[in-house]
Structure 1
Amino acid sequence: MKCRLMLPIDSFIAMFMVKETSYTRLCAKKDILTVNGQFPGPTLHVRKGDTIYVKVHNNGRYNITIHWHGVKQPRNPWSDGPAYITQCPIQPGHSFNYKIIFSMEVGTLWWHAHSDWSRATVHGAIIVHPKRHTKYPFPTPHEEVPIIFGEWWKEDIMRVLREFAESGGVPKISDAYTINGQPGDFYPCSSKDTFKLNVTYGKRYLLHMINAAMNENLFISIANHSLTVVGADGSYTKPLTTNYVLISPGQTLDCLLEAKHASTRGRYYMAARAYSSATNIAFDNTTTTAILQYADHPVTTTSPLVPSLPCYNDTTAAFDFVGRLRSLDPVLFSLNTFDTQIYSTVSLNTLPCQNRSCAGPNGTRLAASMNNISFVSPQSDILEAYYDHIKGVFGTRFPRVPPLFYNFTGSNLPLILRTPKRATEVRVIEYGSIVEVVFQGTALVVGLDHPMHLHGFNFYILGWGFGNFDRYKDPLKYNLVDPPYRNTVLVPINGWAAIRFKAVNPGVWFLHCHLERHITWGMETVFIVKDGNRTEERMLPRPLNMPRC
């Protein structure tokens, strides 16, 4: 653990210095953007219900913002962080003080840059411990360890983004995955720095797992060891013991590891590789490793045992794990009904190319959309425009249903369906209403899994399935008793997922796919939750010294 920031009070101040730092990976040295010179960045330790203050100073070359992923920030969208949604970026040489309000979250969350593709290296863990004098609802661990999965490119990530945006095609795939910043034994020049988790036989470890990868879902396993999932996305789950887990970009898992498999070998690989179900889509098909090694066992030249992982395109394995997660705590509101339903397609699209030489299908530019709207990021932030009643920054006509109903997951779809409307449209939601969102994946261009993340809320995942959502039959199979309570839902390839949340957090909240290339292409929108009638139901006033555009 590179940095532990925790004080026995309800608030504290931490300093994040964003700067360029030289790192060597895969036989090559390059400068990357870091926080406090660390990759991954410092781990924040807080207690449930704390309020903390983090001053971020940008000493880098690019604009930056920080998002506190999974922190609901009640009434406080001002510190949520997505660039041009809730704030203008922090420009080079400038600072901004974030006020981060924790409420009911507990377990594993994380922070990351939310501007351009800086989050590739600007990210770190947040561990929310229970309140003092309260216990975990599972056996107390002897030690807690952040385990952050990431992606690594040999070249500068901003160059990767620039070339990707200019080409109109797909981005260059990463050169490696990482565990706590290290690629592991299976990559060149990486063995000596492989992350090692030292354990003692008979002890219990709580692994705080975070998928900080830019574009890939990951299967993860540890040879000869099982994991017991006890939390997901900052909420406790019913214990689930499994030989592997699936974790999507943006998601977190709390996993108990029992160190009970010591042998004469004494060393075992933790391994992670991609789950990528789409056909004819290039992805990083490498495997990153860390080493779990028992104390008091001699280190030999024998290689650690390698775990068995599902095949990269094993959708059955992926959703068998996803479908077994259950919330531990009672539901917070009645799930038997809803006030508003938003039925949104999530699609890949194409746009005309001005010179017909773009790298998308048939010379087009690739795009992405929700309900056939490819989101256009404004030049000034939406929150300030909403707060100050500034017109012309955004529209309020994000549709409640797709503009056209068809066989969303069928083959040979008409080309005319591929072209979306480009706009900055949001959806305004009444305070206190129960909102159901059905995400419908489509086969336009290519079908894919989409990890959809909502800022400002956790939501209940009531159900999911393959094919087109049937509004008469599928709700009959919803889990209304103990559905998982998460902030990022994986919509299955050519399938659907249904979530519900209660809109009791006034403000401007981003909704987007957490695959970075899909954000760049426009698979996002914004929910604006209106103020309630009482003071405690209204958005907090604008802080002083917000960054300027």
Structure 2
Amino acid sequence: MSLTDESPSNSLLGHESELEPPRWKEESRKHRTRSCSLVFIATLLLIPVTILFVLYLPWTSASKAPAPDLTTTPETVSVVGPTRDLRLLLRPEDHVSRDPTIQYFSWNITKGKIAPNGVQKDVFLINGQFPGPTIEARSGDVLEIEVFNFAEEGISLHWHGLHMRGANHMDGPVGITQCAIQHGQTFTYRVPIDEQAGTFWYHAHSELQRADGLYGGLVVHNHTTPLENVSYQYDKELLFLVGDWYHWPSDKVLANFMDRTSMGTEPCPDSLLVNGLGYFECGMATHGSPVDCSEVEKPWILLDKVLRYRVRLVNVGSLTGFSFTIPDVEMKVIQVDGGGQVESSELVNSVGVLYPAERVDLVVSWPETVVDTDTKIIVELDKEYFLRPNFALTPTQSFLVSPASLTPQPPNNTTGTHRFNLREAKGPPLFTPLPDPDKLFMIYTTIEILNRLGSRPHGFINHTTWEPQAVPLLASPRETWNEHQLIPWTGPEPVWVELTINNIDNSGHPFHLHGFDFHLISSYEGKGGWDYYNPFESKPPRGGAFNTMNPVRKDTVYVPPWGYVVIRFLADHEGIWALHCHVMWHAGSGMVMGFQVLGDEGGLGGGEMGRQAAMLCGG
């Protein structure tokens, strides 16, 4: 796809013969507005249950569990117990000093009706849990995860932020690296971690199931510096999985977004959840969106304010970013995404905005003067996509941090907010500047409404709106790919790739690149109009010179409205790696592409990974 024979090669995805922005040729109209019982008996009953629990708890088992009868749905456990404590404490001490190992897990995927915030909804469960079990590992481990699908829909799982070196066929996206695990099928993921360490997560990568609860935390501890105390000085670790939440099933939400009457405006979420718990005021439900709702206790969290905590935040939501605030604390941002170091000596009490799929690690401590006082965690959903109002939503919610009182209280606004702007994060200085790119790529992304697509909103990258093929791309030669597959080839050898993502929408897009970390060397938001950047023109970028001295390292990046980002990464391990917007409704409507790295231009279907990718496809 080179435009010239000169180095670096110049590749403009989908525009081999033109350098100008894409022009939508047909009748295109773009209009986005956004919008008790006896103790003895009980004891007798508990003994066998406890024995079974110890023997068969599959996610801590050191060996594989026997395969279940996939014709019978397993019993599930209550996911909303008597406590509403949000704490999800991690145990790095179990991992940082041991040798690398293979960890075995056995997961039953089911669906069940639960009410995480008081509102009943059909939610995906893993061994009866929502969110799914938290995986903790150390760098060098291999995860072997046997998945039994009892749900009616086909499923797959993606290990967000892990490089999956030599295991592209285990990466998860249906249509690209595998077929779905259908009802009654079993599949074993083998996930290599290599030397990575940081905050990751796993989630569905088939259909829209992430929005219906098919996700969980994945933390890889750094064995080289136990607790990393040398650098960060903390006592315990906490994981927070935070995100927006819809009461409708995900397929209905997508249908609403893609309806021609929506004009491309995203449906506003109904609530928010923290570690699978939330609070919804039943009286706020509207006649147009009735719900089966019961009042529940507002979640809270019990922490020892004498201790310092490493807080690992993950945005598991489908649409919105959020800010995370704890008044009266001292908070230091230390990492983003999968271990990308942040260079900052700034002490704050808030961080944001964290967009879907992004992660941030903080060290939080309380000054001695406020240790004995009540504090709240405040989560505020960003309103960028809220132009279609949802009056039932409470976008800013607070959660008490104290054992003294569990009474819901309003947000604490007595302390000023000092927020770390994640979009301005910088990494530590590099010993040498980043290498110059060997190949340049440029893409344009937008939500478009076209007559030929029924005047329904679709996500586009260049002239392509993605649809999965029956046989995944990794398992098929390039010549069999249809026009919905935008998968440029980076070449047969490892190369440094520079990718410019231009956003011609009036709202942002959080883009995730599978398989790689990248250096964010430029980010620019348009000022009053579309300020794109074309690396093939002589004009300097509107956002100024690229940062090649201390760029932050990430795997998910927010592309600002009417602007662009420029990222640079070493494309050095084979596979077809997805690149897509992590807003569920944008990816679900087509805002997906990928890169083929290494191999030959005809695809990777003839190799071993390609053959493995077809295992679930039948025929």
TM range (shorter): 0.7 to 0.9
Partners of 2:365 and 2:194 lie apart in 1 by 30
Q: Say yes or no: does 1:275 pair with 2:385.
A: no
Partners of 2:572 and 2:434 lie apart in 1 by 15
CA RMSD of aligned residues (A): 3.2
* Residue identity opposite 1:108 in structure 2: T
For residue 517 of structure 2, the aligned residue among 439, 458, 463 is 458
Partners of 1:57 and 1:283 lie apart in 2 by 37
For residue 255 of structure 1, the aligned residue among 347, 358, 362 is 362
* Residue identity opposite 2:511 in structure 1: M
Residue 30 of structure 2: aligned partner: none
Q: Say yes or no: does 1:227 pair with 2:331.
A: yes
Residue 488 of structure 2: aligned partner: 427
Residue 408 of structure 1: aligned partner: none
For residue 327 of structure 1, the aligned residue among 427, 430, 441 is 427
Partners of 1:82 and 1:539 lie apart in 2 by 18
For residue 266 of structure 1, the aligned residue among 373, 388, 393 is 373
Residue 48 of structure 2: aligned partner: none
Q: Say yes or no: does 1:473 pair with 2:540.
A: yes
Deviation at 1:226, TM superposition (A): 3.8
Residue 293 of structure 1: aligned partner: 401
Residue 241 of structure 1: aligned partner: 347
Residue 199 of structure 2: aligned partner: 108
Deviation at 1:216, TM superposition (A): 0.9
Contact 2:116 2:276 in 1 (8 A): no
Q: How does 1:335-350 map to 2 (within 5 A)?
A: 335-350=434-449
Partners of 1:193 and 1:262 lie apart in 2 by 30
Q: Describe the superposition over 1:138-157 as per-residue Cα deviations: whole angstroms up to 9, x where unpaired.
A: 33422111101123222333
In structure 2, relative to structure 1, the CA distance for the partners of 1:27 and 1:110 (3 Å cut) is: closer
Contact 1:224 1:307 in 2 (8 A): no
In structure 2, relative to structure 1, the CA distance for the partners of 1:301 and 1:373 (3 Å cut) is: closer
Deviation at 1:512, TM superposition (A): 0.4
Deviation at 1:102, TM superposition (A): 1.0
Deviation at 1:80, TM superposition (A): 0.3
Deviation at 1:59, TM superposition (A): 0.8
In structure 2, relative to structure 1, the CA distance for the partners of 1:52 and 1:531 (3 Å cut) is: same
Partners of 1:52 and 1:64 lie apart in 2 by 19
Higher mean alpha-carbon deviation, 5-14 vs 301-310, is at: 301-310
Partners of 1:123 and 1:288 lie apart in 2 by 23
In structure 2, relative to structure 1, the CA distance for the partners of 1:186 and 1:460 (3 Å cut) is: farther
Partners of 1:88 and 1:520 lie apart in 2 by 17
Deviation at 1:340, TM superposition (A): 1.0
Deviation at 1:34, TM superposition (A): 1.6
* Residue identity opposite 1:150 in structure 2: G
For residue 166 of structure 2, the aligned residue among 56, 66, 75 is 75
In structure 2, relative to structure 1, the CA distance for the partners of 1:496 and 1:390 (3 Å cut) is: closer
Q: Tell me the secondary structure at the aligned position of residue 428 of structure 1.
A: coil
Contact 1:221 1:309 in 2 (8 A): no
Contact 1:222 1:307 in 2 (8 A): no
Question: Larger radius of gyration, structure 1 or 2?
Answer: 2
Deviation at 1:274, TM superposition (A): 2.5
Partners of 1:44 and 1:243 lie apart in 2 by 28
For residue 177 of structure 2, the aligned residue among 55, 62, 86 is 86
Q: How does 1:145-544 map to 2 (within 5 A)?
A: 145-165=238-258, 169=262, 170=265, 172-184=267-279, 192-235=296-339, 236-239=341-344, 240-245=346-351, 246-260=353-367, 263=370, 266-277=373-384, 280-282=387-389, 286-287=394-395, 289=397, 291-294=399-402, 298-299=404-405, 303=409, 305-307=411-413, 321-328=421-428, 330=430, 334-352=433-451, 364-385=455-476, 389=477, 391-394=479-482, 423-430=484-491, 431-443=493-505, 447-467=506-526, 468-470=531-533, 471=535, 472-474=539-541, 477-531=545-599, 542-543=611-612
Q: Describe the superposition over 1:436-467 as per-residue Cα deviations: whole angstroms up to 9, x where unpaired.
A: 11111114xxx111101100001000011123
Partners of 1:55 and 1:307 lie apart in 2 by 47
Partners of 2:317 and 2:408 lie apart in 1 by 30
For residue 131 of structure 1, the aligned residue among 223, 228, 234 is 223
Contact 1:452 1:514 in 2 (8 A): yes
Q: Describe the superposition over 1:146-190 as per-residue Cα deviations: whole angstroms up to 9, x where unpaired.
A: 101123222333333345456574554321011111224777678
Deviation at 1:542, TM superposition (A): 4.6
Partners of 2:570 and 2:173 lie apart in 1 by 22
Deviation at 1:10, TM superposition (A): 1.7
* Residue identity opposite 1:547 in structure 2: L
Contact 2:154 2:182 in 1 (8 A): yes
Partners of 1:165 and 1:350 lie apart in 2 by 9
Deviation at 1:293, TM superposition (A): 2.2
Contact 2:489 2:595 in 1 (8 A): yes
Q: Tell me the secondary structure at the aligned position of residue 159 of structure 1.
A: helix
Instruction: In structure 1, list runs of 5 or more residues that go unmatched.
Output: 312-316, 359-363, 396-422, 533-537
In structure 2, relative to structure 1, the CA distance for the partners of 1:308 and 1:274 (3 Å cut) is: farther
TM-score by length of 2: 0.73
Deviation at 1:309, TM superposition (A): 11
Deviation at 1:201, TM superposition (A): 2.7
Deviation at 1:503, TM superposition (A): 0.5
Q: Tell me the secondary structure at the aligned position of residue 306 of structure 2.
A: coil
Residue 546 of structure 1: aligned partner: 615
Contact 2:499 2:568 in 1 (8 A): yes
Q: Say yes or no: does 1:43 pair with 2:131.
A: no
Q: What is the aligned residue count?
A: 494
Higher mean alpha-carbon deviation, 424-433 vs 115-124, is at: 424-433
The share of aligned pairs that are identical, in percent, is 23
Contact 1:262 1:294 in 2 (8 A): no
Instruction: In structure 2, list runs of 5 or more residues that go unmatched.
Output: 1-86, 284-292, 601-606
Residue 236 of structure 2: aligned partner: 143
Partners of 2:218 and 2:364 lie apart in 1 by 19
Higher relative contact order (CA 8 A, sep 6+): 2
Partners of 2:274 and 2:242 lie apart in 1 by 5
Contact 2:503 2:564 in 1 (8 A): yes
Partners of 1:187 and 1:513 lie apart in 2 by 33
Partners of 2:559 and 2:415 lie apart in 1 by 21
Q: Describe the superposition over 1:103-138 as per-residue Cα deviations: whole angstroms up to 9, x where unpaired.
A: 232221000001111002011111111115645153
Q: Describe the superposition over 1:34-69 as per-residue Cα deviations: whole angstroms up to 9, x where unpaired.
A: 212212111100001221111111111111000000
Residue 413 of structure 1: aligned partner: none
Higher mean alpha-carbon deviation, 86-95 vs 464-473, is at: 464-473
Q: Tell me the secondary structure at the aligned position of residue 369 of structure 1.
A: strand
* Residue identity opposite 2:589 in structure 1: W
Contact 1:186 1:289 in 2 (8 A): no
In structure 2, relative to structure 1, the CA distance for the partners of 1:221 and 1:539 (3 Å cut) is: farther
